[in-house]
Amino acid sequence: MKGGYSAHCLELPAAISEGDTREEALENIKEAIELVLEVTKEQAQVLGEIEKVDVASA
């Protein structure tokens, strides 16, 4: 890409995007933020499902 814009969210370092115009970069970063939050929510749900871990000694 020659020129263009890049965008990132300081609060969500994994949310990074780019676009040919400023407006496109802003729309793309909004989508990236939504995706990062969705994945974070899914991971939290999986972690919430872990209730008990048994450890056996040899």
Digitized pLDDT (tens) for each residue of the chain, 58 residues in all: 478 999 999 999 999 999 999 999 999 999 999 999 999 988 888 777 766 667 777 6
Beta strand residue intervals within the chain, DSSP E = 5-9, 12-19
In this predicted structure, what is the pLDDT of residue 55? 73
Report the predicted TM-score, pTM, of the whole model to 2 decimal places. Answer: 0.72
pLDDT for 29? 96
Q: Where are the domains of the chain?
A: 5-48
Report the pLDDT value the prediction gives residue 50, as an integer from 0 to 100: 63
Helix (H, G, I), strand (E, B) or coil at 58: coil
Q: Which residues of 16-34 are buried (b: 16+ CB within 10 A; e: fewer)?
A: ebebeeeeebeebbeebbe
